[in-house]
Structure 1
Amino acid sequence: MKYAKEGQESDTRRLIQYITKIGKAAAMARLEPVVINTLLLFSQVAREACRQHMENVLVSIVLAFGEIGKVAAGQKMEISAKIAASCLGEIGNATTFARTRKETIAVIFALGEIGKSVTSQSLGDAANSIAAFLGETGKVAASLNFEDAALNAELLLQEIGTGAIEQNLKETADISVRSLQDIGKTADLQGLDRALLQAAYSLETIKFDAEDRYLMSASIIAEVALLHFERLEIEKLEDKLNKTSRGKKKFLGTRL
């Protein structure tokens, strides 16, 4: 906090790296109180970094949440994983943070890392929260015209949704589908054609997997969303994008 308040960016980031190692080691040792204290400490420093306009520090903290949360989830420490996700959700959605493109992409990436881990461990409550946070952050990204960030959120929600179906996490699958629909609608309002098309592709993928595993709730929600997108003439949109892409792969994750 001292370094952050003094605007010493390099020293602040260096200490964040050290504390991240401690947090991950504590998670591996299942020392949950240490993990929780670490996450709450990072949350305080994140607010100060925002006040000081230190974007790189904030991104470092966001990625630290993702790293520690992922390890905690791997150890089935659901409370720690949910706290990490909640802090990321606050950074991704709260007006107190700057919400630049770089920060938004980092939040989405970190949420995705934790989300995939909690889903594979069948931690349903945490997976539900993260799918919802990803949806909200993806909507924010689309509303700010950060199309690459919105695309990454959609791809991660697709991965979490299909993983939830494999683990029979019905509520997580449903939330993933609704989140994709919300991002797609926002992308449509903002004229983000690639994000709109990706939402349709991701919904179709989850719908197919849900039908295959007889999870009819997710399948029905996806079908309703797809009917909305069909009215937007997705096939014509796909043709237009194929012509402009000139054979390039359409949807790639964006590096920070």
Structure 2
Amino acid sequence: MIIPLDENEALELGLNLVDEKNEAEINEVLDYLFELVLKYAKEGQEDDTKRLIEYIKKIGQAAATAGLESIVVNTLLLFPQVAREACKQHMENALVSIALAFGEIGKFAAGKRMKTPAKIAACCLGEMGNTAASRGARKETVAVIFALGEIGKSVTWQRLGDVASSTVALIGEAGKIAARQKFEDAALNAELLLQEIGTGAIEKNLKETADISFRSIRDIGKTADRQGLNRALLQAAYSLETIKFNAEDRYLMNASIIAEVALLHFERLEIQRLEEKLYKFSRCKRKYPGMGF
């Protein structure tokens, strides 16, 4: 196969080859695009780097939809080296694009019940989150947490228990790091995602995933408290109370007890007021079923 010199043609060719399930030639196209994106990253050409990341992501998404697991894995493994070069060149927007690409491909892979690609994407994001925090990169940290959330929601929905648990743990760790860095918006996002995933885990009977979600929210809240992040602290308590309330409503007492134990760490907050808010909201929700958290 002769790889076209035009990048757009390479993308179109790659997508057509995915339709044909021609894995050998898809890998050739990916290698071609990888060499280009790495060149752009080394030269500090951020816009070109972002464009090629998007092209590679599209092929990875298409491969996931087509069930080509080995291609999805190969696609994901292209990004870490590009991320290292982008980091050297201080190209935060390119790093954000890579984080979002991991999230999108991981989400699509999870939707097809592909455990290995979903886990690889989540682990790579975990590493990116640690590096971003050490550099004080707020925007990248927010992107990493969002991307982990996309994977976390998908693997929970598909009942991929072990991958769901490990992904939730990574969200929790990223949230704690964000709180330590006083990135309150990122910490809040992590708490909200953990609340959503924890509630979903209860519904899917993924007890370990739900447990890790509760404990992660608690740990982010404790870190937020130490750092004086009052909104994140309040959100942690509110998220735990919400999960506890929903668990009780479904007669899932084990989950309710775990959430209640986690809540004990926030005794100085006026939890009773939160309960009253939740009770009022629940009545409104039952009156108007179209509403949701």
Report the TM-score when normalising by structure 2. Answer: 0.77
Alpha-carbon distance change, 96 to 119 in structure 1, aligned in 2, over 3 angstroms = closer
Q: Deviations over 1:42-93 (max 9, x none)?
A: 1111111111111010000000001111111111111111110110011112
CA distance in 2, matches of 1:45, 1:225: 40
1:178 to 203, 209, 215: 215
CA distance in 2, matches of 1:236, 1:113: 32
Q: 2:101 aligns to what?
A: 64
Q: 2:35 aligns to what?
A: none
**Does the 8 Å CA contact 2:133/2:141 hold for their aligned counterparts?**
no
Alpha-carbon distance change, 237 to 213 in structure 1, aligned in 2, over 3 angstroms = closer
Q: 2:34 aligns to what?
A: none
Amino acid at match of 2:80: S
CA distance in 2, matches of 1:227, 1:165: 20
- Higher Rg: 2
Q: Deviations over 1:168-218 (max 9, x none)?
A: 000000000010000000000000011000000111111223334454443
**Does the 8 Å CA contact 2:65/2:108 hold for their aligned counterparts?**
yes
Alpha-carbon distance change, 237 to 183 in structure 1, aligned in 2, over 3 angstroms = farther
Q: Size of the alignment, in residue pairs?
A: 237
Q: 1:45 aligns to what?
A: 82
Q: 1:143 aligns to what?
A: 180
**Does the 8 Å CA contact 2:148/2:171 hold for their aligned counterparts?**
yes
1:130 to partner: Cα distance: 1.0
Amino acid at match of 2:173: E
Q: 1:208 aligns to what?
A: 245
1:145 to partner: Cα distance: 0.8
**Does the 8 Å CA contact 2:132/2:138 hold for their aligned counterparts?**
no
Alpha-carbon distance change, 117 to 135 in structure 1, aligned in 2, over 3 angstroms = same
User: What are the ranges of 5 or more consecutive residues in structure 1 without an aligned counterpart?
Assistant: 239-256
Q: 1:164 aligns to what?
A: 201
1:104 aligns with 2:123: no
Where 1:168 maps in the other structure, the secondary structure is: coil
Amino acid at match of 1:80: P
CA distance in 2, matches of 1:53, 1:97: 13
1:233 aligns with 2:269: yes
CA distance in 2, matches of 1:73, 1:30: 11
1:126 to partner: Cα distance: 1.1
**Does the 8 Å CA contact 1:50/1:97 hold for their aligned counterparts?**
no
Report the TM-score when normalising by structure 1. Answer: 0.88
**Does the 8 Å CA contact 2:136/2:181 hold for their aligned counterparts?**
no
1:74 aligns with 2:104: no
1:221 to partner: Cα distance: 2.5
Q: Deviations over 1:105-143 (max 9, x none)?
A: 101110111111111111111110111000000001111
CA distance in 1, matches of 2:209, 2:84: 30
Where 1:72 maps in the other structure, the secondary structure is: helix
1:155 aligns with 2:196: no
**Does the 8 Å CA contact 1:92/1:99 hold for their aligned counterparts?**
no
User: What are the ranges of 5 or more consecutive residues in structure 2 without an aligned counterpart?
Assistant: 1-37, 275-293
Moved more, 219-228 or 94-103: 94-103
Q: Which has the higher contact order (CA 8 A, sep 6+)?
A: 1
